[in-house]
Structure 1
Amino acid sequence: MLKILFPKRFSLVKAFTATFLMFAFIIRLTLYFWSFREIDFSFLNFIKIFGIGFLFDLGCLSYILTFYSIYLLILPTKFYGSKLDKILTNTSYALVLFFMIFSFLAELTFWGEYQKRFNFIAVDYLLYTYEVVQNINQSYPLPFIIGILIIATFLSIKIAKKKNALYDTFNNSDTFSIKIIPTLFWMLILGGFHLNVKNSQAEKFLNQYENEITKSGIYSFFAAYNSNELNYYDFYKTIPSNTTYKNIKNLVTAKNDSLIDTKKSIKRYIFNEGEEQKPNVIFIGLESVSAKFMQRFGNEKNIIPTIDSLAKKSIFFTNLQATGTRTIRGMEAITLCIPPTPSRSIVKRENNNNLFTIGEVFKQKGYTRTFFYGGDGHFDNMNNFFSSNGFDIIDRKKKHRLNKKLLTERIQITDDEVTFENAWGVCDGDLYDKVLKEADKQHKLQKPFFNFIMTSTNHRPFTYPNGMIDIPSGTNREGALKYTNWAFDKFFKEAKNKPWFKNTVFVIVSDHCAYSAGRSEINVESYHVPAFIYNLQNETPKEINKLSSQIDIFPTLFGYLNWTYKSNFFGKDINTMKPKDERALIANHRKLGLLKGDKLLILNNHKNQNFYRWEKQTNELTLQKTDTLFLKETIFHYQTAFDLFKNEGLKLGY
């Protein structure tokens, strides 16, 4: 049988098949033992993981070998071993082999960061080569890795030569009829796999680590590319839109709100009693600071003491959840106060200009609006999103990159303002210094300002200025957290001496948690983030323990400021929530969840759902019979959020 599938002309195909499947097996075995503590081990599951995984590897392999097989099929016998044949074959084999080995090694680093096979994050990062290459270079010994790749490629070619794979490929007289069978073999595998197999079909287990290990990383990458923007109506359970809008209006409307119209909209007036206050507002997005890093939630390492101290100086939201697992998900939730749209954040979607954001509310009240980022805001489309929604931009513009013309003012963090920077931009200390400088200018304009700051130091490669803390730069996340806290502390010490400080409110929320992977399809404890409103006049510091979401933080601030304003938000003032209203919308790339108390419903992109009871102490999910009313409430949130965005219901003037 092997001779039929791999005649002499297909000797190199045989060598590549063996090499690919060997590397794939080694990587899968490595990931298996790497994650052994998280796996629900059984011998049957072990067999399933590697059996299904082998089929996915074979399918992935067919995408590579089908085209080469067709080349081998159509090239006449008289050209076997010709100069052109040797150049095309040797060059292609070496390049494909190199990138194959590179992808397998890259899977290990990706797994170390995300505990996932390649997914939408890998796809997104492919668009930002500068940041990603620099991050890899600063996080790992890149020359050493490239050396390993070259050596591994060289050894693989040498082994193929030793097995006479190259010699036999060029020196044979195989006819068209001999070559047609192996060619059809790979074509049939490719056709069957491409038309009938989805990446999600590898997910046969309740344990998410086992599901991910079963997959093929290369195939997962291209599957993520194809599903990087899902249409809710095509992939998720739906309800007639008239029903969803009627019910979502009841869910988002508070007692004193007044709906503006009866069409497919949630627009309403939010009424708050009392004299309106108009302090300056500075929002600080803390990169990857999980609630579990705080002493208040049991951490005894005292890593972030200044951030910890806010617990007793602020309005402290102890049960606030992030909507997603990436910075742009946090930005989407905080600026638009909307449940996450499936697969891709609105920050990165097309037609995301002129939306009703928190910036529009600030504009109604006479504020300037500025977005601060220490890196090049081209990354993840942040600058285009904020600029096209009325924010001025202050970032670290890269000289190597041509930038699209922005709709608002853009100010560069200049070289003389930088003491340290890495792949993601300047360190938090330099970013805060720029904020202080610009706030001084804004204060002189005698107009209230709203500044949106996104930090980045607490991100791999975890590098920062030396000598500031007791952990050397680039060591680990704990060092990055300590520096994050150091810069945060320095910022507030200097801000307190500014003439604008007394009349400035600070909203501090993490964009997402540091770690999101878990055994279940949504790891609930990895959405809990710290959130504070600090320096609010006439308000006594206190804890608010209501279950809430990032989408609620600014509606809550507007409530404290007694603002009456037009709203198009799903988010609500947390203080107006009754126990039955408490909820959090938590999601990842394809799973959309609603959490209420110990109940969690997750919509998946196969028009199905799972309903769980969540045990907070152990973070375990126990599958339950679906609660129909709970299912409908989940659909109301996500379907209407998607519908409003796609049909421009979030636009200004809609």
Structure 2
Amino acid sequence: MKKFFNSRFGSIYLLYLIFISVSFLTRLVLFFYSFSQFSKSVWEIVKSVSTGLFFDTIAFGYFMIPFVLVTLLVPHKLAKKKIVKYITYTFYTIATVIIVYTAFAEYFFWDEFNVKFNFIAVDYLIYTSEVIGNIWESYNIPLLVVSIAAITGVIVWFVARKGWIGRALQSPEGFLVRLKTALILSIVPIIGLLFVTHRCSEISTNTYNKELAKNGVYSFFEAFKNNKLDYEQFYLIKDKKEAFTQLRSLMADSTIAYISPDVMNPVTKVSNTGEEKRYNVFLITVESLSGEYMNYIPSTSGITMPFMDSLANQSLFFTNLYATGTRTVRGLEAINLSIPPTPGTSIVRRSGNENLYSLGSIFKEKGYVNKFLYGGYGYFDNMNQFFSTNGFDIVDRSDLKPEEITFANVWGVCDQDIYKRSIQEADQSFAKGEPFLNFIMTTSNHRPYTFPSVGIDFPKSRKGGVMYTDYALAWLFNEVKNKPWFDNTIFIVVADHCGGSAGRAELPINEYQIPLVIYNPSNIPAQKVDKLCSQIDLTPTLLGILNWSYQSTFYGKDIMKMKQTEERAFIGNYQKLGYIKGNNLSILSPQQRFSFYQFDRYTGEEAIKESNEIMKDEAVTYYQTAEYMFVNGLNKIEKK
């Protein structure tokens, strides 16, 4: 063993030990941090740890490539010089800093999302100012820097004290011997490149155990590579004409008619009889508003929303509604486009997303003034581009005057500030006699959980975020109740996604349940609606309340007219695409995989069942046609 570490490649072998040791300790911390969520079976734990070691080795195989090349190419005479020793220690220190820093980053990412690095980390890499600001405002950065430096210092001191690097540099191995070793070491990254994918981490039905088995660095680059997925390459498919034909059957409704006999034309005409209503609309999409924060879903979180519970009792309240995804852009996509989630990144962030059949395009055609109001900077997640090219004028943080901002953090102004501006916009539209749609996206219920001083000591946590969210909504409704446009305005409160996204299951049902409240006491009677539905049904339901006729390529339906046999919901993350009917969940995954579960609506507990071919076929139809429609521009509005 001593001879092994004293070879020219000995410092690389030592770095590997450091790498896997830090990774193992990180896994241990995460295991105890989320102890209650893991399967405690000895075999499950052994699989997680051993698979984790495998992924750590593959990740290090990529990490070591520059070190192997330098060791191979630097001749023995040069390697013995002091300057090379100093340079080696410098880069060794940098490498150790990266390893230790990554361990801390994995912990904080797990604390937020309960997973190793994934597509969210890739997306956030683009928005460095927001992410760095969020970290700075959320954590004690000086303490973190000191901790990382101290741990790195101890490791490098120990290595220097043992003299391993010096002895490795003094090793007199010739070029051919070094070449042989380099070729053997290169097998690791080659195996990783050719044969290893995230499917190798599918070692358990418990998502936490699977996540623990991953290596954060490897997961990050795997997510980067797969952030855009070719549906036809990775998922189950059928003949496209057959799929679009079946879609027509699934979408059949007495109010819906396709405008063309060509099955590849997905444009429909929804016809309602009687007078069209001209209500104004306040559509408030609340950051991370889980259904469990309200009374209608049993919860042990201790988080409550007394105002929202009170508002729900006076409203059209949908109690069995699911978010389509786990990111803000997924919620915005579902509400605006009424489309199931497509794999990879959201349509909001994809090219070719302009001039689509959407909520904004329909309201604009009806003569409404549409405003998208966002408390942050709308370049984040491409929101400004998406909304501005789909029927909305933009009002974001950059449009607010300094005196309009009473409080802000890295994510945006507080909810009250953006609500104040939305009221101003409504007043201006009303004064001009223009009907308006104000689409508001809030930011306060988000880490770093900092809030304005309003006489209440909100804790700096998710609980505090929900408390302030509820307070700000109460403030908004109190401010508008005496406005001349109040009685003629529909107020909608819905979540973009839940406050959490992790669970033991492939797609944890209870992490997709969100509330939808539609409030207008003068025109909409209070009623609880327990039909199974999802965010994509919000817009058709709103348009049904308005009694509008319109053309669209929507997959959603008017919930109030939905028959029991038509009830279904769509959920997903960037890879797994879920389809719910009753208490059954089917999931389409890459590599043409399909899984089927039965679940408990409130606990989220799932049991694997034999495949349901009908649900499988319907899921393929919905998701394949949705992706094909967007990629081929079938949901673009033709210019007149």
Superposition TM-score, scaled by structure 2 size: 0.97
- Corresponding residue for 2:573? 588
Report the AA paired with residue 392 of structure 1: D
Which residue does 2:70 correspond to in 1? Answer: 71
Residue equivalent to 1:35: 34
Query: What's the CA shift string for 1:135-175, capped at 9, x where partnerless?
Result: 11111101110111111222221111111123223333221
Q: Residues 310-321 of structure 1 correspond to what in structure 2 (within 5 A)?
A: 310-321=311-322
- Shift of residue 285, structure 1, vs aligned partner: 0.3
Letter of the structure 2 residue corresponding to residue 185 of structure 1 = I
**Partner of 2:579: helix, strand, or coil?**
strand
Aligned with residue 642 of structure 1, among 610, 627, 630: 627
Residue equivalent to 1:408: none
- 2:377 equivalent in structure 1: 376
1:208 alignment counterpart: 207
CA distance in 2, matches of 1:198, 1:607: 14
Q: Give the conservation status (yes or no) of the 8 Å contact 1:333–1:551.
A: yes
Structure 1 stretch displaced more, 55-64 or 146-155: 146-155
* 2:385 counterpart letter in structure 1: N
Deviates more, 1:631-640 or 1:149-158: 149-158
Structure 2 CA distance for aligned equivalents of residues 160 and 302 of structure 1 = 49
Which aligned pairs between 1:159-558 and structure 2 lie closer than 5 A? 159-263=158-262, 264-298=264-298, 303-397=304-398, 412-472=399-459, 475-535=460-520, 537-558=522-543
Q: CA deviation at 1:178?
A: 2.9
**Alignment correspondent of 1:57:** 56
What per-residue deviation string (whole Å, max 9, x for no partner) do you get for residues 293-336 of structure 1? 11233459573211111222111111111101111110010000
AA aligned opposite 2:551: K
Q: Tell me, what secondary structure is at the counterpart of 1:295?
A: coil
Count of residue pairs the alignment pairs up: 637
Cα distance in structure 2, aligned partners of 1:38 and 1:69: 40
Please say if 1:48 is aligned against 2:33: no
Aligned 8 A contact 2:303 2:466 in 1: no
> In terms of mean alpha carbon deviation, does 246-255 or 454-463 score higher?
246-255
* Cα distance in 2 between the residues matched to 1:565 and 1:420: 41
Q: 2:204 corresponds to which letter in structure 1? A: F
How far apart in 2 are the matches of 1:302 and 1:31? 24
Deviation at 1:96, TM superposition (A): 2.0
CA distance in structure 2 between the partners assigned to 1:620 and 1:240 by the alignment: 35
Per-residue deviation, 1:179: 1.7
Question: By how many angstroms is 1:629 displaced?
Answer: 1.3
* Contact 1:469 1:486 (C-alpha < 8 Å) held by counterparts: no
363-372 or 259-268, larger mean C-alpha shift? 259-268
* Partner SS state of residue 100, structure 1: helix
Q: Tell me, what secondary structure is at the counterpart of 1:126?
A: helix
- 1:436 aligned partner, one-letter code: I
| 8 Å Cα contact 1:7/1:178 also seen in 2 | no
Q: Distance in 1 between matches of 2:60 and 2:287?
A: 38
Q: Could you tell me how far apart the structure 2 residues matched to 1:378 and 1:83 are? A: 50
> Any conservation in 2 of the 1:7–1:179 contact (CA below 8 Å)?
no
Deviates more, 1:451-460 or 1:620-629: 620-629
How many Å separate the matches in 2 of 1:529 and 1:180? 59
Preserved CA contact (<8 Å) 1:468 1:483: no
Query: Where does the alignment leave 5 or more consecutive residues of structure 1 unmatched?
Result: 398-411
1:577 is matched with 562
Residue identity over aligned pairs, in percent, reads 40
Mark the CA change 1:128 to 1:302 in structure 2 (over 3 Å): closer, same or farther. Answer: closer
Letter in 1 for 2:161: K
Structure 1 vs Structure 2 CA RMSD: 1.6
CA distance in 2, matches of 1:482, 1:127: 30
| Alpha-carbon distance, 1:52 to partner | 1.4
Alpha-carbon separation, structure 2, partners of 1:64 and 1:302: 43
Give how far 1:7 is off.
Answer: 4.3
Distance in 1 (alpha carbons) for counterparts of 2:154 and 2:370: 58
* In structure 2, C-alpha distance between the alignment counterparts of 1:458 and 1:7, rounded to whole Å: 54
CA separation in 2, counterparts of 1:248 and 1:622? 29
Output the CA distance in 2 between the equivalents of 1:381 and 1:392. 14
Is the 1:7–1:174 Cα contact (8 Å) retained in structure 2? no
Distance, in Å, in 1 between the alignment partners of 2:340 and 2:361 is 18
Structure 1 CA distance for aligned equivalents of residues 442 and 85 of structure 2: 52
1:135 aligns with 2:122: no
The residue identity in structure 1 corresponding to 2:111 is G
Q: Contact between 2:451 and 2:458, CA under 8 Å: does it hold in 1?
A: no
CA contact (8 A) 1:66 1:183 kept: no
- TM-score (ref. length: structure 1): 0.95
Say whether the 8 Å CA contact 2:85–2:166 is kept in structure 1.
Answer: no
Shift in Å at residue 467 of structure 1?
A: 3.8
- How far did 1:25 drift? 0.8
> What SS does the aligned partner of 1:26 have?
helix
State yes or no: 1:630 paired with 2:615.
yes
Q: Which residue of 2 aligns with 1:125?
A: 124
Q: Which residue of 2 aligns with 1:403?
A: none
Opposite residue 347 of structure 1, the aligned amino acid is V
Question: Match of 1:615?
Answer: 600
1:599 to 580, 584, 599: 584
Correspondence for 1:406? none
**Inter-partner Cα distance in structure 2 for 1:493 and 1:520:** 41
Does the aligned pair in 2 maintain the 1:281–1:506 contact within 8 Å?
yes
Contact in 1 for aligned 2:494/2:516 (Cα 8 Å): yes
The 8 Å contact of residues 254 and 576 in structure 1, kept in 2 or not, is answered as: no
Q: Deviations over 1:587-632 (max 9, x none)?
A: 1121101101111101111201111111235322111111111111
Q: Which residue of 2 aligns with 1:402?
A: none
Residues 319 and 494 of structure 1, relative CA distance in 2, 3 Å threshold: same
Paired amino acid for 1:77:
H
Structure 2 CA distance for partners of 1:575 and 1:130, relative to 1, 3 Å: same
Match of 2:99 in 1: 100
Larger CA deviation: 41-50 vs 317-326 = 41-50
Helix, strand or coil at the partner of 1:297: coil
Deviations 1:409-439 (A, max 9, x none): xxx1122111111110111011111111121
Which secondary structure does the structure 2 equivalent of 1:520 belong to? coil
CA distance in 2 between counterparts of 1:82 and 1:392 reads 65
Superposition deviation, residue 469 in structure 1: 2.2
Instruction: Determine the C-alpha separation between the residues in 2 that align with 1:597 and 1:452.
Output: 31
Matched, 1:653 2:606: no
Secondary structure at the aligned position of 1:9 is classed as: coil
Deviation at 1:215, TM superposition (A): 0.7
Structure 1 residues 261-270 or 280-289, which shifts more? 261-270
Amino acid at match of 1:236: Y
Residues 1:91 and 1:338: Cα distance change in structure 2 (over 3 Å): same
SS at match of 1:469: coil
How far 1:19 sits from its partner (Å)?
0.9
Counterpart Cα distance in 2 of 1:31 and 1:184: 35
